[in-house]
C-alpha cells in the first residue's frame, strides 16, 4: 500500500515538473529570440511608408478599410527614433487595412537583416495586426539564409504611436525555430 502511494506521488511530481517545463506562454523553448524596433515613417521629407492604393470608399471608412501601404521601414536595435538608432535591417512589404470595424492590418513583410548576428538572412512575417491592442501576435512563415525553413511567431508592442512625430515605433520580439 505504502509503495503504491509513493509511486502515485512520484508520478504526480513528474507530471507537475513536465507541466511547469511547458511554459504555456507560447512554447518558446528551443527558439531563437530576436528583438528589433520597427520604424514606420509616414511624414517628413523621407517617408518609408507610402500609401499605394485605396478604394473609393476608404476615405469614408473610420478604419481606412481598403488602403494598402508599401513599406521599406528601418529596423533598429533600440527604441530611439530610427535616425538615432543602430540599423540592423529593413522591413519590406505591405500592410493592408483589412478590418471594417477596428483598425486591423494584414501585415505582409520580410525582415531583411543587413547587420549584426543575422546579417544576410531574412524572415517572412504575415499576420493580423490590430494596432490598438497592447500585444499583437503574427506568424513567421519562412525565411532565408540561416533562417531557411524557419517557423515561429512575432509579438508586436507599440512604443510610440507616431501621432505627433509621424514615426510609429513598434517593438517586435521574434521567436524563431530554423
Ligand atoms: C481621399 O482623401 C485624400 C486626402 O484627403 C484625397 O487626396 C483623395 O482624393 C480622396 N480620395 C477619394 C476617392 O475621395
Ligand atoms: C553584412 O553582410 C554583407 C554581405 O556579406 C557585408 O558586405 C556587410 O559588410 C555586412 N554588414 C555588416 C554591418 O556587418
Instruction: State the CATH number of the domain containing residue 81.
Output: 2.40.480.10
Is the shortest distance between the CB of 120 and ligand 2 below 6 Å? yes
63 touches 100 (CB < 8 A)? yes
In a domain, 44, yes or no: yes
Q: Which three cell numbers stand for residue 117?
A: 548576428
The model carries a pTM of 0.83
In a domain, 155, yes or no: yes
Please give the number of the atom of ligand 2 that sits closest to the Cα of 114.
1
Is the shortest distance between the CB of 115 and ligand 2 below 6 Å? yes
Is the shortest distance between the CB of 56 and ligand 1 below 6 Å? yes
In a domain, 3, yes or no: no
In a domain, 119, yes or no: yes
**Which position has the higher pLDDT, 116 or 82?**
116
101 CA from centroid of ligand 1 (Å): 20
Asked whether the predicted pLDDT for residue 23 surpasses 50, the reply is no
Asked whether the predicted pLDDT for residue 24 surpasses 50, the reply is no
Q: What is the pLDDT of residue 7?
A: 56
In a domain, 142, yes or no: yes
Q: What is the pLDDT of residue 27?
A: 59
Percent of the chain beyond pLDDT 70? 85
Report the C-alpha gap between 30 and 18 in whole angstroms: 16
Is the shortest distance between the CB of 86 and ligand 2 below 6 Å? no
From residue 136, alpha-carbon distances to 67, 90, 146 in Å are 20, 20, 25
In a domain, 7, yes or no: no
In a domain, 26, yes or no: no
DSSP character string of 93-137: EEEEE--SSS-EEEEEEEEEE-SGGGTT-EEEEEEEEETTSS-EE
Nearest residue (by CA) to ligand 1, atom 2, is 59
**Helix, strand, coil: what percent of the chain each, to 5?**
20, 45, 35
3 CA from centroid of ligand 2 (Å): 64
**Which position has the higher pLDDT, 99 or 3?**
99
Average pLDDT on 29-41 reads: 94
Condensed to tens digits (0 to 9), the pLDDT of residues 92-143 reads: 999 999 999 999 999 999 999 999 999 999 999 999 999 999 999 999 999 9
129 touches 156 (CB < 8 A)? yes
Is the shortest distance between the CB of 17 and ligand 1 below 6 Å? no
67 touches 77 (CB < 8 A)? no
Asked whether the predicted pLDDT for residue 6 surpasses 70, the reply is no
Average pLDDT on 166-172 reads: 97
Report the C-alpha gap between 39 and 64 in whole angstroms: 20
Please give the number of the atom of ligand 2 that sits closest to the Cα of 116.
14
Q: Which three cell numbers stand for residue 46?
A: 523621407
In a domain, 11, yes or no: no
23-30, long-range: CB within 8 Å, 24+ apart, which pairs? 26/153, 26/175, 28/175, 30/177
Q: Based on the structure, what is the number of domains in the chain?
A: 1
Is the shortest distance between the CB of 60 and ligand 1 below 6 Å? no
Residue 111 domain boundaries: 31-177
Pocket test for ligand 2, best of 115, 117, 121, 146 (most atoms within 8 A of CB): 115
Amino acid at each position: 500500500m505504502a509503495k503504491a502511494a509513493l509511486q502515485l506521488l512520484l508520478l504526480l511530481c513528474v507530471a507537475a515538473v513536465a507541466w511547469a517545463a511547458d511554459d504555456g506562454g507560447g512554447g518558446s523553448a528551443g527558439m531563437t529570440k530576436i528583438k528589433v524596433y520597427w520604424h514606420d515613417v509616414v511624414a517628413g521629407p523621407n517617408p518609408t511608408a507610402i500609401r499605394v492604393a485605396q478604394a473609393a470608399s476608404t476615405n469614408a471608412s473610420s478604419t481606412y478599410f481598403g488602403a494598402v501601404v508599401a513599406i521599406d521601414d528601418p529596423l533598429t536595435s533600440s527604441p530611439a527614433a530610427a535616425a538615432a538608432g543602430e540599423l540592423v535591417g529593413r522591413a519590406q512589404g505591405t500592410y493592408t487595412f483589412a478590418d471594417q470595424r477596428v483598425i486591423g492590418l494584414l501585415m505582409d513583410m520580410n525582415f531583411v537583416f543587413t547587420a549584426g548576428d543575422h546579417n544576410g538572412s531574412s524572415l517572412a512575417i504575415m499576420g493580423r495586426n490590430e494596432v490598438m491592442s497592447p500585444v499583437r501576435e503574427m506568424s513567421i512563415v519562412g525565411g532565408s539564409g540561416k533562417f531557411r525553413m524557419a517557423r515561429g511567431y512575432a509579438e508586436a508592442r507599440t512604443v510610440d504611436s507616431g501621432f505627433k512625430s509621424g514615426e510609429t515605433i513598434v517593438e517586435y520580439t521574434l521567436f524563431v525555430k530554423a
